[in-house]
Amino acid sequence: MSEQSYDIVIIGAGPAGMGAAIPLQKNHASVCVIDKAVFPRNKTCAGLVTGKTYRLIKELFGDREIDDLFCFTSGSVRLFDRKKLLVKAPLEHCVRLVDRKDFDNALVEEYKRLGGEILEGEAGLNIDYPGNRIILKNGDAIRFDYLLFADGALSMAHHLLQTDKRDLAFGIEAYIPCDQLDTDSVDLYFGYLDSGYAWVFPHGKTVCVGLADLYDRKTDYRSLIKTFLADLDVDVEGVDLKGAYLPYGTVIPQDRLADNLMLLGDAGGFTDPISGEGLYMALQSGAYAAKALLSSDRQKKAYLDDMSRLIRIVKNGKKVQRTFYSQPIHKMFLKKVEGKEKAVSFFFEQMVEDYRYGYREMRRLYGDYKKSNKES
């Protein structure tokens, strides 16, 4: 049995893990990444990349041309009330889409290109804590000073913390060839779910059809998506469905963990509780963790301070989620939004493409929209 030592070990080589590993490796830190999968691996995700996420991806890849990472670019968003088209809104800045298998692999390849060490296919590892060691399945040990959990929505850290009362969503999706169903807009469908939405996103030769809702073990998600697919006139026979959990408004309280343990991305509960967007917070939490560990005092507090705005967005977004999906409000929203191109574009540009407002600033956002509408 061998034992190796690293300053920083990262469990999970998804966007959160790589968001930390790449800048750490660029700065010659002693890092080892461990993932249970062998890359390229699949990841259930619709792959929508907003402007704020795009900027972080650009930062990670530095001078490298990154256009080839994206499988589609869209300049509009459409909202539906079930099958009824409510509005098609143009987007000033396009949104992009990635195929997660290719995108995540490109991140791992970039890390390797920089000389980064990664152990792939390491399922079944154990954490010896507070011994500060990871024990691999073959008995080898990896010693660490800092351990970053970037292992997704069902992170091993949650057992350490014993946090099982989390709000999770469950998402299910399928990729459909364009000759069966096509769109060049980002299409969002409401009215199918109690606390979530369905979507059709263009991916080039295919479209991603999916839905995500607050997880309830009594819900039959396969049957829900089949109803949605049938409404879209897609033959559901033989369609390959893939499902996965995502955090949906519960931030994991990291202050209960030791100072040398940090939770990033989905593992920390960092996704937007209205849109379900998780790539941005995964990459941003990785960048902040790296920044804290590359500073002279290497405080977890610095990481959590940097994350505080996103933590507020998740917590306040959770409250907005409850209101937004409550029956009367949701019905009113769908009625009001019909034909409101400018309002939808404004909201999308300000709150989805970027977080120019927090979820407690919806009144201010509405006021600013009214003002901008008068001026134009």
Ligand X SMILES: Cc1cc2nc3c(=O)[nH]c(=O)nc-3n(C[C@H](O)[C@H](O)[C@H](O)COP(=O)(O)OP(=O)(O)OC[C@H]3O[C@@H](n4cnc5c(N)ncnc54)[C@H](O)[C@@H]3O)c2cc1C
Rounded to whole angstroms, the Cα distance separating 61 from 66 reads 7
Nearer to ligand X, 23 or 171 (CB): 171
Asked if 187 interacts with ligand X (CB under 6 A), we say: no
Which CB atom, from 89 or from 98, has the smaller least distance to ligand X? 98
Q: Look up residue 12 and give its two tokens.
A: 């999970």
Give the interface size with ligand X as a residue count (CB under 6 A): 38
CB 181 within 8 A of CB 236: no
Residue 202 or 278: the one with the smaller Cβ distance to ligand X is: 278
Measured in residues, the chain has a length of 376
| Cα gap 76→201, rounded to integer Å | 11
If the CB atoms of residues 143 and 340 are measured against ligand X, the closer one turns out to be 143
Stretch in the footprint of ligand X (CB under 6 A) among 45-53, 309-317, 336-344, 359-367: 45-53
In angstroms, what is the minimal distance from the CB of 284 to ligand X?
11
CA–CA dist 46, 18 (Å, integer): 19
CB closer to ligand X out of 101 and 342: 101
CB of 370 to ligand X, least distance (A): 29
Among 173, 187, 213, 353, binds ligand X (CB under 6 A): 173
Residue 277 pairs in a beta bridge with none
- According to CB under 6 A, which one of 22, 45, 86, 229 is a site residue for ligand X? 45
Residue choice 5, 26, 43, 140 for contact with ligand X (CB under 6 A): 43
State the Cα–Cα distance between residues 256 and 252, nearest whole angstrom.
9
Nearest to 14 by CA among 136, 152, 134, 147: 152
Binding region for ligand X (CB under 6 A) out of 79-87, 149-157, 222-230, 357-365: 149-157
Nearer to ligand X by Cβ, of 342 and 350: the residue is 350
Is residue 242 within 8 Å of 229, Cβ to Cβ? no
Q: Minimum distance between the CB of residue 206 and ligand X, rounded to whole angstroms?
A: 14
| 151 touches ligand X (CB under 6 A) | yes
Asked if residue 317 binds ligand X (CB under 6 A), the reply is no
Give the single-character DSSP code of 132. Answer: T
* Cβ neighbour number for residue 256 with a 10 Å cutoff: 11
Q: Compute and round to an integer the Cα radius of gyration of the chain.
A: 21
Closer residue to ligand X, CB minimum distance, 1 or 123: 123
Q: For ligand X, which is the closer residue by CB, 149 or 374?
A: 149
Question: What residues between 1 and 20 interact with ligand X by CB under 6 A?
Answer: 11-17
Find out whether 327 and 313 touch, Cβ atoms under 8 Å: no
Please, what's the b/e burial string for 301-335 (b: 16 or more CB within 10 A of its CB; e: otherwise)?
Answer: ebbbebbeebbebbbbbbebbeebbeeeebeebbe
CB of 10 to ligand X, least distance (A): 9
For ligand X, the closer CB: 23 or 152: 152
Interacting residues with ligand X between 230 and 249 (CB under 6 A): 244, 246
> Based on CB atoms, which residue is closest to ligand X, 93 or 370?
93
For residue 324 the two structure tokens come to 């937004």
Name which of residues 105 to 134 contact ligand X (CB under 6 A): 122, 125
Give me the 255-284 binding string for ligand X, x by CB under 6 A, dash otherwise: ----------xxx---x----xxxx--x--
**Residues contributing to the site for ligand X (CB under 6 A):** 11-17, 34-37, 43-48, 122, 125, 150-152, 156, 171, 173, 210, 212, 244, 246, 265-267, 271, 276-279, 282
